[in-house]
Amino acid sequence: MRTSLSQGCLLAALMAMASPAMAATPSTAVEISIGGIGPGVDATAFKKVKWLIADAVYRGTIDYFDVYGYGKEGGFSACVEQGTFAAAGSFDKFVKALRAIQPNPTTTAYSVSDVVQCTYPTAP
């Protein structure tokens, strides 16, 4: 009985120490890709993405916004990073709003992916 109690306490202590390490770390950067897949891009979804990004820049939610590709049928691929002085939780709300956008899947490819950091362009 005493051994199992000691083992239980040890296991509980180890789990308590491991919990913060196992917790999901909040994202500080995301790659956004929206583009047409034959027909033109879903215009309404594209406007929502642009509006959310513009609002995030205005509010300081994001400091870095880099477009690194444009689609032939409209759209773009970009990376954004959380602002240095962003309000607590504002970047997570921004990412959640981006992920809530549901463009027409027959005309538009859309993804929002967490990344550790955006890749900064360098001069050749």
Asked, for residue 108, whether it belongs to a domain, the answer is yes
Helices within the chain (DSSP H only) = 2-22, 43-59, 90-100
Please state the pTM of the whole predicted model: 0.75
Range of the domain at 105: 29-115
For the chain, the distance separating the N- and C-terminal CA atoms, rounded to the nearest angstrom, is 69
pLDDT at 8: 44
Asked, for residue 22, whether it belongs to a domain, the answer is no
pLDDT digits (tens, 9 = 90+) for 47-70: 999 999 999 999 999 999 999 988
- Show Cβ contacts of residue 84 under 8 Å, excluding neighbours closer than 6 positions: 63
Asked, for residue 11, whether it belongs to a domain, the answer is no
Into how many domains does the chain fold?
1
- Calpha distance 44→67 (Å, rounded): 19
Asked, for residue 19, whether it belongs to a domain, the answer is no
- Calpha distance 31→22 (Å, rounded): 24
Torsion sign across C-alpha atoms 50, 54, 57, 59: negative
CATH number at 109 reads 3.30.70
